[in-house]
Every structure is written in structure tokens, then in C-alpha cells.
Chains A and B, each alone.
Chain A
């Protein structure tokens, strides 16, 4: 049950786009399209922003988009806003019938 690999941090200016990668293995990300992304501002519970690779729950701005290629999933935040500062986590269902998370990426708006 190895964790998925994310960069520790990314930053961007307001209005710019940033992309967070999430690299897994054949048994996670590679096997299923059950990849989700969560946003966690400091001191709060995580919030689902993308599920099944590229689907947005109701209420999530379309500035957030997801994709997948091979063993790597990606989250792109377009038109970065100050309120987007948070930790972001990817997760994937695995062939062992478990879920695994990435280590998290801190997004800073500079």
C-alpha cells in the first residue's frame, strides 16, 4: 500500500495556472479511473473537488480540472485565486480493494 507521489509544494500568482501531479503504480491509478482530489485548507476537514479522474461535484468551480495518463493523474487549477491556498491530496482505489493517498501538495498563491 505505497503512497502516491506528489510534489511537496507548488506556487503561482493570482490568475495563473498550476498543475499538481500524482504518480502511482499499475495497481493504483494504472488499474482504475477511481482517482479523486481533495482540498484541505489549514485546520479544516478535506473537501472533495474531483472524483473519477475528471468529474467535479456540484458547487466546485470549473477552474479545477483533472486528468490522467498512464500511472500519473493531474489536477490543474486555472485562474488561481487567494482562496485556493490549501493542501491538496490525490487518492486512488487499488487492486487490493483499499484506498491510498498521495503525500499532499501545498499550494501557495504568491
Chain B
């Protein structure tokens, strides 16, 4: 059974940095693209960033482009999100999500339980 476990959330200050991790198990990690989706408190879902199975191709939402970097270590079955220059409006639960194939353009199916990021001074 495919499982995703996020970690690294917590309290950050505006302008600071945070790094999220997502440990995958139960499937061949390198065969699937991965995505980060966030949900601000009481709000809807927002796609943040995606990365192909090989890690060569990455995509970002305009709201995080130039500040966040997605990466993966296929040898460790782990996905990362480096969050720099964080802002108060980055406060959200961040979900790690698996796609149905190696390309970001295919639908995503399995979701982790999420990790909370709070940005406040």
C-alpha cells in the first residue's frame, strides 16, 4: 500500500526558510511524479509545485516561483520542498501527493496526511 509521510512543518518567521520532507513507501518512488499541494486554514486547495519521476522537470505556481524549490532523492524515496523568503500567506497545511505516472501532467492520486507550516512574527 502506497504511503506518504510529511515532516518538517512548524513555525517560521517572515523572510525565513523552512524545509519540508516527504518519505514515500509501498511503491517504486522513481516511477512516479510527485506534487506539493497546500491548504490555508479554512480555505481551499492550492497546487504549489510538481516534479517528474526522474527529477529533471519541475513546475511551480506563480505564488511560489523563485522562492520555493522542489527536489527529490530517489535513492531515499524522499521528496523535498525548500521554502525560502516565506511570507505570512504561506501559512497552510502542506500535502505531499503522488501522481499516477512519471509525468506531472498525469493526475495525482495518493495524498499524505499533511504537515502544518505557520509563518508569523
B residues 102-121 in Cβ contact with A at 8 Å: 104-114
Does any Cβ of B come within 8 Å of A104's Cβ? yes
B residues 6-65 in Cβ contact with A at 8 Å: 35, 37, 44-47, 50, 59-63
Do residues A89 and B44 form an inter-chain contact, with CB atoms below 8 A? yes
Beyond A45-B95, A52-B107, whether A101 also contacts B62 by CB under 8 A is: no
A residues 36-91 in Cβ contact with B at 8 Å: 36, 38, 40, 45-48, 51-52, 57, 89, 91
For the complex, what is the distance from the CA of A57 to the CA of B112, rounded to whole Å? 17
- The 8 Å CB contact of A1, one of B61, B104, B110, is B61
Most A Cβ at <10 Å: residue of B45, B46, B63, B114: B45
**Chain A positions within 8 Å of B87 at CB level:** none
Do residues A104 and B44 form an inter-chain contact, with CB atoms below 8 A? yes
Do residues A101 and B108 form an inter-chain contact, with CB atoms below 8 A? no
Number of residue pairs across A and B with beta carbons under 8 Å?
Answer: 60
Do residues A34 and B35 form an inter-chain contact, with CB atoms below 8 A? no
For the complex, what is the distance from the CA of A110 to the CA of B112, rounded to whole Å? 31
Do residues B107 and A45 form an inter-chain contact, with CB atoms below 8 A? no
Do residues A97 and B59 form an inter-chain contact, with CB atoms below 8 A? yes
Tally of contact residues, B, Cβ under 8 A: 25
Beyond A45-B95, A51-B107, whether A99 also contacts B47 by CB under 8 A is: yes
For the complex, what is the distance from the CA of A45 to the CA of B63, rounded to whole Å? 22
Do residues A104 and B104 form an inter-chain contact, with CB atoms below 8 A? no
Do residues B112 and A45 form an inter-chain contact, with CB atoms below 8 A? yes
Does any Cβ of B come within 8 Å of A12's Cβ? no
Does any Cβ of B come within 8 Å of A109's Cβ? no
**Chain A positions within 8 Å of B60 at CB level:** 98
Q: A residues bordering B, Cβ < 8 Å? A: 1, 3, 32, 34, 36, 38, 40, 45-48, 51-52, 57, 89, 91, 93, 97-104
Extra 18 A-B pairs, beta carbons < 8 Å, given A3-B44, A45-B114, A51-B100: A1-B62, A38-B45, A45-B111, A45-B112, A46-B95, A47-B111, A51-B107, A91-B45, A93-B105, A97-B59, A98-B47, A99-B50, A99-B104, A100-B47, A101-B37, A101-B45, A102-B44, A104-B44
